[in-house]
């Protein structure tokens, strides 16, 4: 279905590899969660963005007791027929137009830390991305400053941790904000090489994937709170194993995708509309004189 009317919503779930192989949220059959519309396509200044859904969460399930509208998009908004890293900008432009204030980004990741193993649930506290996003949403270099402090909302991260600990299997672990994990970024789609793994680990990262850093940056640019919902599918030692050993752990995604998807739904319902965090204030206007006096 094609439409130009972007529905208002304060909450969004950006689906990713953590949800691959299921219809989010239909296959979860989660009580109190309904799909209002699906297969939506919206126009953006950089072309169409496809595979959107509008969800409705019943007030009996939400933190404020009010019915909640949630926007969700398939796999970071990536097109099915080509590699297109600019998709992130189209997605977050739409979220900005909708008035979204809180974003969950779902994904899988590779471990850069021997202590973090396959099947572990990981909530990042900081981002390592040395080039930053190539596709900024800011209107110019002279309008806003966007702080790199607190790219991940601590309030949303605390809710995500509680949701994960309530649902994640007991034979794996949940690493929450106190672990102070750092997520590194590689554009992909090629998986990271052993040399790259060594470099990112030396720089201080604990896990790596293809999506979280540009999404965290764009969330800051639109003044929204951001948190990830992710689990490890590639153990650190797998990157250094012989070539015939699959980097991605066998069966990890199929085992964990339903649980991770349910955690995202529970967290988005449990977020407070106004958590009193500083996230929105970390995008600040620059003085007009920076552009006018030239």
Q: What is the CATH number of the domain that holds 66?
A: 3.40.50.1580
Matching residue, tokens 């790219």: 151
Burial of 204 (0-12, 13-18, 19+ CB in 10 A): exposed
Domain with 275 in it: 2-292
Q: C-alpha angle with apex 72: 71 to 77, nearest 5 degrees?
A: 125
Q: How far is CA 121 from the centre of its chain?
A: 14
Q: If you ran DSSP here, which 8-state letter would residue 82 be given?
A: S
What is the value of pTM for the model shown?
0.95
Q: Which residue has the tokens 């998709």?
A: 87
Q: Hunting for tokens 């006018």 — which residue is that? A: 292
Within 79-124, where are the H helices?
Answer: 87-98
The β-bridge relationship of strands 181-185 and 207-209 is parallel
Number of Cβ atoms within 10 Å of the Cβ of 85: 16
pLDDT tens, per residue, the chain with 294 residues = 556 689 999 999 999 999 999 999 999 999 999 999 999 999 999 999 999 999 999 999 999 999 999 999 999 999 999 999 999 999 999 999 999 999 999 999 999 999 999 999 999 999 999 987 789 999 888 889 999 999 999 999 999 999 999 999 999 999 999 999 999 999 999 999 999 999 999 999 999 999 999 999 999 999 999 999 999 999 999 999 999 999 998 899 999 999 999 999 999 999 998 878 999 999 999 998 988 888
Tokens 């969004």 belong to which residue?
A: 12
At 167, list the tokens.
Answer: 């649902």
Report CA Rg, the chain. Answer: 19
Q: Which of 14, 24, 1 is nearest to 75 (CA)?
A: 14
The whole-number pLDDT of residue 225 equals: 97
Q: Three-state secondary structure along 240-269?
A: HCCCCCCCCCCCHHHHHHHHHHHHHHHHHH
Count of Cβ atoms closer than 10 Å to residue 32 Cβ: 15
Length of the chain: 294
**CA 32 to mean position of chain CA atoms:** 23
Q: What pLDDT does residue 3 have?
A: 60
Number of structural domains found in the chain: 1
> Which DSSP state fits 15?
-
Give the whole-angstrom CA distance, residue 230 versus residue 183: 11
- Among residues 50, 68, 52, which one has the least CA distance to residue 60? 68
């Amino acid at each position: 279905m094609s439409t130009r009317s972007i529905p208002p919503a304060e909450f969004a779930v950006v689906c990713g590899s953590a949800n691959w192989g299921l219809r989010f949220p239909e296959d979860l059959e989660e009580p109190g969660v309904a799909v209002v519309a699906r297969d939506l396509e919206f126009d953006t200044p950089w072309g169409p963005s496809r595979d959107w859904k509008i969800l409705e969460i019943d007030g009996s399930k939400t933190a404020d007791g009010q019915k909640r509208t949630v926007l969700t998009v398939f796999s970071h908004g990536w097109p099915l027929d080509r590699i297109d890293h600019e998709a992130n900008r189209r997605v977050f432009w739409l979220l900005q137009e909708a008035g979204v204030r809180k974003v969950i980004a779902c994904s899988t990741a590779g471990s850069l830390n021997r202590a973090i193993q396959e099947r572990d649930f990981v909530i990042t506290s900081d981002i390592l991305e040395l080039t930053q996003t190539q596709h900024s949403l800011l209107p110019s270099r002279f309008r806003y400053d966007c702080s790199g402090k607190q790219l991940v909302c601590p309030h949303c991260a605390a809710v995500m941790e509680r949701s994960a600990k309530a649902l994640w299997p007991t034979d794996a672990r949940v690493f929450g904000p106190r672990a102070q994990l750092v997520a590194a970024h590689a554009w992909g789609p090629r998986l990271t090489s052993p040399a790259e793994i060594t470099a990112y680990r030396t720089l201080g990262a604990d896990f790596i994937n293809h999506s979280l850093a540009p999404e965290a940056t764009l969330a800051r640019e639109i003044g929204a709170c951001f948190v990830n919902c992710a689990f490890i599918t590639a153990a650190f030692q797998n990157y250094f194993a012989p070539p015939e050993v699959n980097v991605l752990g066998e069966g990890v995604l199929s085992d964990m995708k339903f649980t991770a998807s349910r955690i995202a739904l529970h967290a988005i319902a449990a977020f407070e509309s106004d958590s009193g965090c500083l996230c929105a204030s970390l995008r600040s206007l620059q003085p007009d004189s920076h552009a006018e006096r030239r």
